[in-house]
Amino acid sequence: MFLLLACTAPRAPLPLDESSTDTGASVAVETVTSAAASGSIPAVVLNEIQADNDATIMSDGLVFSDWVELYNASPEVVSLSRLELSDGDGARWEGGAGELAPGERVLLWADSDLPFGLSRDGERLELLVDGIVSDRLATGQMNSDTAWARYPDGGQWALTARPTPGWTNGSHPGDSTDPSDAFFQVDHVTPISVWITDDQWAALTLDNYTYVEASVSTGAAWFDRVGFRKKSTVGSNRSLDDKAAFKIDLNRYEDHRLGGQEVLTLNNMVQDPTYVAEHLAYMLFRSAGIPAPRVGYVRLSINGEDWGLYALIENVDDTFLDRWYADSSGVLYEGAYGTDLVVGALEDLEVDEGDAGAREDLVAVAEILSGEASDDAIAALEQRVDLDSLLLNMGIEAAILHWDGYTTANNYRLYHDPQTDRLQLLPWGTDQTFIDSSYGPYQGYGLMYTFCLANDACRVRYGAALAEAADLMDALPLQTEQEALRAMLEDDIATDPRAEHSESVQASYLSYMSTCIENCPDSIRDAVE
């Protein structure tokens, strides 16, 4: 059944241009000057539409139904019996009982309220009040989990990846039309609830790195039969009696996605007293054009028990590769805890995506690294590895004091890009950055890194990468971002029942981070040989 929802204050409709259009992401919107604008009928308008609700919100029928939101932008109460809504094929919804107060909205579900469905390939809607056209909308192709909405409510149309069914659209649609971006915002904390049976919890306790079945809810959506397990093996490893970290595989048993994601990685931040290091670090890598995860925040509950604040780290998987690479069919390798490109030990690099076959790509690089770092060897390495990206990656690691990445062959990913036929180094495990380092900008033992430093020309190139990393670090508003993020997280940090860090410890580490943000770029420049 349709839902009536109230807004805090009514807004008058903005005038609509005759046959105006707005195009973006293969979608066009058309509107016409409505009779509502002239005052002959109340200004009830189409306010938001989603024609391919894949995982945004569930209807009362617990399905991901498409929907239309109507909004009363007039100063008078309007009976729903005065409203009609039709699609391009002539199917018609007639309002029925109920009223729309000023500033109130009604959400119409395709699975229960409307006598017609909505097509992602293009939809035409016409809203009438007292038999007179109040508003029209025509869309082109719409992507999953995006919506067309008016900003502000009753205003101009814009495409958004942050649908707001049933509540105010706000003043701006956001900067992205990628629906997965909506899940990695740092302006709010998303509630996630996991429900697991006693038997499955017992199985998790016995073997907590193997997935067990659970259910997960975000408030707007519910998924049964998802995979749930612990994560982390060394520094951030915690028992289930403490603040364990988790992975949720939505796609483990059935085809589910949430915010475009198949796997949710929930980091416990026990090694990051600042709570913001991963966001700042990955933001810096992405600003350099290096594929790196996005970060959001969630408040986790398990069987109704509050487990506190977690960082939601974008999983580096096929979905991630689709976003960054024109050809995502290559092989993704996972390197961790001392694994590197060593002849005879390449099986230690786990294959996360793709078919590695005999790992010829790794073998070729490992054989080069086993020899002398001559100019010819560097040239041969550059045929197999994106060396510029590797050096910039290592420069950023040095600038942010990331001692736990490829510098020490601990946390990293390698992707064999089929388009370039080269390996690219991707960052991971940045929860202990901006604080302290046991390694200077010319120290460490990742083999590709040390191989380059053993060659004079490559060492000069690395120095240039260090300077570029310092400039990037200066260019980004890292301190402002840190302060805004900490302010947003303040209440969740203070009320986290499993938090390991006292306020004084947090304050100390935030001071270390601020000092690095201010001084590390100049320190890196001074260290360049």
Nearest CA-CA partner of 264 in 251, 273, 253: 251
Is 38 a residue whose pLDDT tops 70?
no
Q: Is 369 in the same domain as 442?
A: yes
Residue 515 lies in a domain: yes
What value, to the nearest 5°, has the Cα angle with vertex 528 and ends 525 and 529? Answer: 155
Residue 60 lies in a domain: yes
- Provide the H-helix boundaries in 357-477: 360-369, 375-384, 387-399, 447-453, 456-475
Band (221; pLDDT cuts 50, 70, 90): confident
Band (21; pLDDT cuts 50, 70, 90): very low
Phi then psi for residue 285, to 5 deg, are -60, -45
Between 1 and 184, the higher pLDDT residue:
184
Q: Which residue has tokens 């260090």?
A: 466
| pLDDT tens per residue, range 100-141 | 999 999 999 999 999 999 998 888 999 999 999 999 999 888
Q: Is 30 in the same domain as 42?
A: yes
Q: Is 211 in the same domain as 341?
A: no
Residue 292 lies in a domain: yes
Residue 58 sits in a domain whose CATH number is: 2.60.40
Band (33; pLDDT cuts 50, 70, 90): very low
Q: Is 326 in the same domain as 471?
A: yes
Q: Is 253 in the same domain as 344?
A: no
Is 469 a residue whose pLDDT tops 90?
yes
| pLDDT tens per residue, range 103-114 | 999 999 999 999
DSSP labels for 158-199?
Answer: EEESS--TTS---S---S---GGGGGS-SSS-EEEEEE--HH
What is the total count of domains within the chain? 3
Residue 182 lies in a domain: no
| pLDDT tens per residue, range 237-289 | 899 999 999 999 999 998 888 877 899 999 999 999 999 999 999 999 999 99
Q: Can you give the pTM of this predicted structure?
A: 0.85
Q: Is 19 in the same domain as 134?
A: yes
Q: Is 71 in the same domain as 167?
A: yes
Q: What was the pLDDT predicted at 29?
A: 53
Q: What was the pLDDT predicted at 20?
A: 32
Is 165 a residue whose pLDDT tops 60?
yes
Could you list the residue range(s) of the whole structural domain that residue 63 is in? 3-174
Q: State how far the Cα of 290 lies from the Cα of 389, in Å rounded to an integer.
A: 7
Q: State how far the Cα of 409 lies from the Cα of 134, in Å rounded to an integer.
A: 63
Amino acid at 361: D
Is 60 a residue whose pLDDT tops 70?
yes
Q: Is 118 in the same domain as 200?
A: no
Q: Which residue has tokens 């270390």?
A: 512
Domain boundary among 314, 340, 365: 314
User: How is the chain split among helix, strand and coil, in percent rounded to 5?
Assistant: 30, 25, 45
Domain boundary among 292, 314, 336: 314
Using DSSP, state whether 337 is helix, strand or coil: coil
Residue 183 lies in a domain: no
First vs last C-alpha separation in the chain: 70
Q: Is 354 in the same domain as 400?
A: yes
Residue 32 lies in a domain: yes
Is 28 a residue whose pLDDT tops 80?
no
Residue 336 sits in a domain whose CATH number is: 1.10.1070
Contact residues for 302 (Cβ-Cβ < 8 A; gap 6+): 193, 194, 195, 196
Q: Is 471 in the same domain as 365?
A: yes
Q: Is 232 in the same domain as 94?
A: no
| pLDDT tens per residue, range 356-397 | 999 999 999 999 999 999 999 999 999 999 999 999 999 999
Is 17 a residue whose pLDDT tops 80?
no
Domain boundary among 269, 297, 314: 314
Residue 523 lies in a domain: yes
Q: Is 221 in the same domain as 332?
A: no
Between 244 and 29, the higher pLDDT residue:
244
Mean local confidence (pLDDT), 466-479: 98
| pLDDT tens per residue, range 197-217 | 999 999 998 887 899 999 999
Angle between helix axes 456-475 and 503-527 (nearest 10 degrees) is 130
Residue 76 lies in a domain: yes
